[in-house]
């Protein structure tokens, strides 16, 4: 019996040894060297050609691992078709469908490999990793489609890709790409792909590359990336939330390239010449789009529009001349009021269809000469339509279908021009204002008066530069635009903010500006009944650099604002406040630098609020609130930040509890109830535990 078991063990060992095979091959001879077609592991050295690959394709059904790293693939052509109708097979090439559908879990490719053929590894649903040699120059259609790859790296030597090379790889999570271009549908339907790095060599993102990549929120671009073209449907139906191509020199964006994404803001690069049909359509969160080029600046601070009395001069770069059909269709949160720059002459069919958010003023530049069918249909939030075009633009059918034109004023460049609009088809349905209305204080002519107008005017006064509406900037009415107008406009902005409740201001700010995760936050301090205390406010700004801030300060009953002073990072800024006329314990506040200096750094205190509490002040359930926060950059962009809230009895009324205590631990809790030792982005409940077992909490915004 013992001898019998020994024989069984020997037989089993023999069977196992046959599962892994190493052969030194001469091209065309693999069939003779591999006698057991049930092997699972194969290592080949020497040479191979298409005949050897055909043997693997047809006969080695159980293969799970193949090592070709020491193989040289040689050409083969005898006029006989092996794969399909193909008769000529190049050297250093894995033939089409060579490993299609096999159970491969690992593969080592030849060091000198040049190309991988059509669907060569497609359907290998257990193949989770592959390393492409630096010699590879071409991947044919669907080469790795439907595999279990989790990451891929495309080398700079790769200068050609077919369709769908890594499509339907549902386990793929990351891709590093340094090839010249990313081929059509390269990552189509890769639902877990979330980390994509685009290297310096990439010039083109072709059709449908990231179509359906729902986990993809952003793209990492090498600063030296040479990307010039993004083709049709490149990011359609993806999870894209932000992408910055503004500095990459992209000249063309294809049809429907960014449709059905999660983008909230998008800046079109300067110098762009082509924005495709439907390219930004059906984006439910898209609120802001910046067109390339200046509006109509002449580089001296004036305007080329005759309305403002400035001499015209060529712009440094031109904007897009055509807004194509369906470009922004269905973007119901988009505010296009000041989006179109001088130079746009055509707004295509359905271009702004159902863009229904509230728009104070929708402006058409003087260059517009045609609006296509249903171009502005469904724009039910439009309050005013302003056209600078002196020649009445031609119209397609039902341009304003669904819009209550009778309730919307049409503002024209002059009363003479208005007469032409009054008799023009469809235009005549608006009601007319015969004089151009100037919104005093709207220095940058964006339809709003806010801190951005202050910084724009400071720049003009200091440097004589900027795209300034001089008529609106002369707040003092003395015929000159100077530092007196800066003082006047600060007061004008604050009085305007103070004339509406903070709650109403919140809706305006949310509609008006793109949001940012940068934020102001209260720092811990102490305030008790009958006392005066300084409470510092910090700015955290990792996304942008800011030169000015504006916000509403809401205080609890029994607390008054005594003064505001710049501290630390904000020591070079001036602060101004006006008490709200609607809400009796709120203040409109602004901080600006008269020399347009940014707040230095990215984190730290910027201002100190001196607050005075009455003798009967009750800190229980009292809160300090910063709301309607607007952060203005040095290049005259504005962003709205989240509210900052602090519970007074936890942050400022705990002197007798926390004095001389040691902190044991600090936890941060977000709105979803998740806990962390570091702050979350957004609202945080900060729970501080002391060594005696007591705790304190504060709500802050990071």
3-state secondary structure 279-332: CCCCCCCCCEEECCCCCCECCCCCECCHHHCCCCCCCCCCCCCEECCCCCCCCC
Q: Are 78 and 103 in contact (CB under 8 A)?
A: no
Q: Tens digits of per-residue pLDDT, 590-599?
A: 999 988 899 9
Question: Which residue did the predictor score with more confidence, 680 or 36?
Answer: 36
Q: Tens digits of per-residue pLDDT, 517-561?
A: 899 998 865 678 888 888 899 999 988 999 999 999 999 888 999
Please check whether residue 625 lies inside any domain of the structure: yes
| Pair (384, 317) in one structural domain | yes
Neighbours of 438 (CB within 10 A): 16
Q: Which domain holds residue 477?
A: 451-511
> Rounded to whole angstroms, what are the CA distances from 640 to 120, 262, 263, 349, 570?
51, 18, 16, 32, 19
Rounded-to-integer distance, Cα 247 and Cα 576, Å: 36
Neighbours of 613 (CB within 10 A): 24
Phi then psi for residue 405, to 5 deg, are -60, -30
Percent of the chain with pLDDT over 90: 52
pLDDT at 635 over 90: no
Q: Are 658 and 696 in contact (CB under 8 A)?
A: yes
Please check whether residue 178 lies inside any domain of the structure: no
| Pair (331, 344) in one structural domain | yes
Question: Which residue did the predictor score with more confidence, 329 or 294?
Answer: 329
Please check whether residue 29 lies inside any domain of the structure: yes
DSSP three-state, residue 488: helix
Please check whether residue 587 lies inside any domain of the structure: yes
H or E element at residue 240: none
For range 293-308, the mean pLDDT: 36
Rounded-to-integer distance, Cα 193 and Cα 211, Å: 11
Rounded-to-integer distance, Cα 685 and Cα 518, Å: 17
Antiparallel, parallel or unpaired: β 695-701 and 683-690: antiparallel
pLDDT for 652 equals: 38
pLDDT for 78 equals: 79
| Pair (292, 311) in one structural domain | yes
Sheet holding 385-387, edge to edge: 362-364, 385-387, 409-411, 431-433
What is the rounded average pLDDT for all residues in the chain? 84
User: For position 326, which CATH number holds?
Assistant: 3.80.10
Give the up-direction half-sphere exposure of residue 312: CA atoms within 13 A in the CB hemisphere: 9
Neighbours of 452 (CB within 10 A): 25
| Pair (314, 422) in one structural domain | yes
| Pair (491, 527) in one structural domain | no
pLDDT for 275 equals: 95
pLDDT for 470 equals: 67
| Pair (283, 417) in one structural domain | yes
Which of 98, 120, 142 is a domain's end point? 120
Token pair 């999870």: residue: 239
pLDDT for 477 equals: 60
DSSP secondary structure string, 23-64?
EEE-TT-HHHH---TT-SEEEEEEEE-HHHHHHHHHH-TT--
For 289, the token pair is 């789009």
pLDDT for 487 equals: 84
Please check whether residue 180 lies inside any domain of the structure: no
pLDDT confidence bin for 656, thresholds 50/70/90 = very low
Rounded-to-integer distance, Cα 107 and Cα 480, Å: 76
For range 229-237, the mean pLDDT: 97
Phi then psi for residue 473, to 5 deg, are -80, -20
pLDDT at 304 over 60: no
For range 472-501, the mean pLDDT: 76
pLDDT at 622 over 50: yes
DSSP three-state, residue 239: coil
pLDDT at 312 over 50: no
Q: Tens digits of per-residue pLDDT, 355-390?
A: 998 887 888 999 999 999 999 999 999 888 989 999
Which of 89, 120, 151 is a domain's end point? 120
For range 260-272, the mean pLDDT: 92
**According to DSSP H, which parts of 355-438 are helical?**
415-422
Which residues does residue 382 pair with via DSSP β-bridges, in sequence order? 359
Question: Which residue did the predictor score with more confidence, 18 or 113?
Answer: 113
| Pair (322, 424) in one structural domain | yes
Rounded-to-integer distance, Cα 312 and Cα 298, Å: 6
Rounded-to-integer distance, Cα 539 and Cα 566, Å: 12
pLDDT at 300 over 50: no
pLDDT confidence bin for 135, thresholds 50/70/90 = very high
For residue 640, which of 653, 628, 648, 623 has the smallest C-alpha distance?
628
Please check whether residue 217 lies inside any domain of the structure: no
> Rounded to whole angstroms, what are the CA distances from 588 to 444, 450, 632?
21, 11, 16
Which residues does residue 153 pair with via DSSP β-bridges, in sequence order? 176
Please check whether residue 559 lies inside any domain of the structure: yes
Which of 96, 120, 144 is a domain's end point? 120
Cα angle for residues 173, 544, 194 (degrees, 5° grid) = 5
pLDDT for 479 equals: 53
Question: Which residue did the predictor score with more confidence, 594 or 477?
Answer: 594
Question: Which residue did the predictor score with more confidence, 310 or 111?
Answer: 111
pLDDT at 287 over 80: yes
| Max avg pLDDT among 451-455, 480-484, 496-500, 504-508 | 451-455
pLDDT for 295 equals: 40
| Pair (487, 561) in one structural domain | no
pLDDT for 415 equals: 84
In this prediction the pTM is 0.62
| Pair (470, 490) in one structural domain | yes
CA dihedral over 324, 226, 263, 367, signed as positive or negative: negative
pLDDT at 81 over 90: no
Neighbours of 567 (CB within 10 A): 16
| Pair (642, 530) in one structural domain | yes
| Pair (558, 612) in one structural domain | yes
| Pair (428, 461) in one structural domain | no
pLDDT confidence bin for 655, thresholds 50/70/90 = very low
DSSP three-state, residue 116: strand
Rounded-to-integer distance, Cα 495 and Cα 475, Å: 13
Please check whether residue 131 lies inside any domain of the structure: no
pLDDT confidence bin for 683, thresholds 50/70/90 = low
User: For position 610, which CATH number holds?
Assistant: 2.60.40.680
The number of domains in the chain is 5
């Amino acid at each position: 019996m013992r001898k019998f078991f020994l024989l069984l063990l020997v037989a089993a060992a023999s069977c196992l040894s046959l599962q892994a095979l190493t052969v030194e091959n001469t091209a065309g001879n693999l069939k003779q060297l591999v006698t057991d077609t049930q092997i699972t592991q194969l290592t080949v050295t020497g040479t191979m050609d298409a005949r050897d690959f055909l043997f693997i394709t047809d006969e080695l059904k159980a293969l799970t691992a193949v090592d070709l790293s020491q193989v040289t693939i040689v050409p083969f052509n005898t006029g006989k078709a092996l794969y399909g109708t193909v008769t000529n097979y190049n050297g250093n090439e894995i033939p089409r469908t060579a490993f299609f559908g096999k159970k491969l879990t690992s593969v080592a490719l030849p060091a000198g490999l040049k190309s991988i053929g059509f669907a060569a590894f497609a359907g290998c649903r257990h193949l989770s990793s592959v390393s492409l040699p630096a010699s590879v120059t071409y991947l044919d259609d669907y080469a790795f489609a439907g595999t279990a790859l989790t990451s891929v790296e495309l080398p700079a030597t790769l200068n050609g890709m077919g369709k769908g090379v890594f499509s339907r790889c549902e386990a793929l999570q990351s891709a590093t790409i340094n090839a010249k271009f990313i081929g059509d549908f390269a990552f189509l339907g890769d639902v877990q792909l979330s980390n994509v790095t685009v290297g310096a060599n990439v010039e083109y993102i072709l059709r449908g590359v990231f179509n359906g990549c729902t986990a993809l929120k952003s793209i990492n671009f090498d600063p030296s990336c040479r990307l010039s073209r993004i083709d049709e449907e490149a990011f359609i139906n993806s999870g894209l939330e932000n992408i910055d191509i503004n500095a990459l020199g992209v000249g063309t964006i294809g049809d429907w390239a960014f449709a059905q994404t999660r983008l909230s803001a998008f800046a079109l690069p300067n110098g762009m010449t082509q924005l495709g049909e439907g390219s930004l359509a059906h984006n439910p969160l898209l609120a802001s789009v910046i067109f390339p080029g200046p509006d109509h600046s002449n580089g001296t601070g004036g305007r080329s529009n005759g309305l403002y009395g400035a001499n015209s001069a060529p712009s440094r770069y031109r904007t897009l001349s055509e807004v194509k059909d369906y470009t922004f269709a269905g973007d119901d949160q988009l505010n296009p009021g000041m989006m179109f720059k001088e130079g746009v002459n055509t707004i295509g069919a359905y271009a702004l269809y159902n863009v229904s958010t509230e728009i104070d003023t929708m402006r058409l530049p003087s260059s517009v000469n045609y609006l296509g069918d249903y171009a502005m249909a469904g724009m039910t939030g439009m309050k005013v339509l302003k056209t600078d075009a002196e020649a009445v633009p031609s119209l397609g059918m039902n341009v304003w279908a669904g819009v209550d034109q009778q309730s919307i004023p049409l503002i024209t460049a002059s009363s003479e021009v208005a007469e032409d609009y009054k008799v023009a088809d469809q235009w005549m349905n608006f009601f007319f204002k015969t004089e151009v209305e100037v919104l005093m204080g709207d220095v940058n002519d964006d339809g709003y008066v806010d801190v951005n107008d202050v910084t724009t005017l400071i720049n003009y006064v200091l440097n004589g530069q900027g795209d300034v509406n001089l008529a609106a900037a002369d707040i003092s009415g003395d015929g000159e635009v100077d530092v007196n107008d800066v003082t006047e406009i600060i007061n004008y902005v604050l009085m305007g903010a103070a004339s509406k409740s903070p709650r109403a201001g919140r809706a305006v700010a949310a509609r008006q500006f793109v949001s940012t995760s940068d934020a102001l936050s209260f720092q811990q301090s102490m305030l008790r009944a009958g006392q005066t205390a300084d409470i510092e406010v910090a700015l955290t700004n990792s996304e942008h650099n800011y030169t000015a801030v504006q916000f509403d300060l809401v205080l609890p009953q029994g607390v008054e604002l005594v003064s505001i002073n710049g501290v630390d990072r904000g020591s070079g800024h001036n602060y101004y406040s006006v008490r709200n006329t609607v809400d009796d314990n709120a203040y409109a506040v602004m901080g600006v630098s008269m020399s347009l200096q940014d707040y230095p750094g990215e984190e730290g205190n910027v201002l100190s609020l001196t607050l005075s509490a009455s003798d009967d002040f009750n800190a229980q359930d009292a809160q300090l609130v910063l709301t309607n926060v607007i952060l203005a950059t040095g290049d005259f962009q504005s962003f709205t930040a989240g509210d900052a809230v602090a519970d007074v009895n936890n942050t400022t009324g705990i002197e007798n509890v926390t004095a001389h205590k040691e902190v044991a631990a600090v936890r941060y809790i977000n709105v979803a109830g998740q806990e962390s030792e570091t702050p979350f982005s957004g609202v945080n409940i900060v729970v501080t535990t002391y060594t005696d077992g007591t705790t304190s909490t504060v709500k802050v915004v990071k």
